[in-house]
Amino acid sequence: MVWICDKCNKEFASARECAKHEKNCNFVNEIKCKCKECGNVWHYLPEEENTIRSQAKNNALIGLGNLFTPTGAFFSNKSIDAQKELTKFSKCPKCGSANITKENHNFEKK
């Protein structure tokens, strides 16, 4: 079994070695998106997507429970913001097309 660094895809023989390496690894893993309609290119970090996804879900749940209170309204608005943010993971921010390609992109942080 080999262990692979999430950031630079380097292979290790043991989990311990891999974990040790990951702590010091200065590679960044990001998703590179390209719009097939207008040629726009943008990037985002996978962590960013996870954070916003869980945020959108939490906000929606809180908003639902407090729909008729000022707090509920506040969270509902928040959840709309998070929903908007989410579109950048599946749609072109420039022309709104969902006709996009995604690829993993690893690079060394300087």
Tokens of 76: 């509902």
* Span interacting with Zn ion, options 21-29, 57-65, 68-76, 102-110, rule CB under 5 A: 21-29
| 95: helix, strand or coil | coil
* H/E element, 102: strand 100-108
Q: Is 108 in the site for Zn ion (CB under 5 A)?
A: no
18 belongs to the binding site for Zn ion (CB under 5 A):
no
Contact string 62-101 vs Zn ion (x = CB under 5 A): ------------------------------x-xx-x----
Please report the DSSP string for 21-52 in residue order: HHHH--EEEEEEEEETTT--EEEE-HHHHHHH
Residues that bind Zn ion (CB under 5 A): 5, 7-8, 10, 25, 35, 37-38, 40, 92, 94-95, 97
